[in-house]
Amino acid sequence: MALLLAACSKSQSLEERWLEKSQRKEVIVFRNGKPDSSDMYMGEERSFYFQTRPLPPSSSRASESGIYFYSLAGDSLILKTRQEKFYFRMSADGRSFTIGRFFTDPGGLGDLVIFEKQ
């Protein structure tokens, strides 16, 4: 029974939700637990779900919400479909991370964006 409980709690903890800190409109959900430069997944492909803010009806650009596949290499997150590197650094306490803005600027976000764990 204890093994079953441990397995259930582990599967529930695999997805982690993170909210952009300044405007609180963009969300990232890491599907395989949070990335960490010291974890065993370094260089292995993983995924996250990105939810951008709703676009106004007059917008001509496509929503960038969806699943992104990535790997880590040093201080970079590599988006697999684009083969592009973006800065990535998890905070020492694991409660926030800074990432290079990989999505179109929705208005007022800088090139480096901070997300906080929810």
CA 67 to chain centre: 10
Burial of 59 (0-12, 13-18, 19+ CB in 10 A): exposed
Burial of 63 (0-12, 13-18, 19+ CB in 10 A): middle
Q: Render pLDDT for 88-107 as a digit per residue (tens, 0 to 9).
A: 999 999 999 999 999 988 78
List, in order of start, the domains of the chain with CATH numbers: 11-54+61-117 (2.40.128.50)
Q: Record the pTM.
A: 0.80
Q: Render pLDDT for 1-15 as a digit per residue (tens, 0 to 9).
A: 444 444 444 445 578
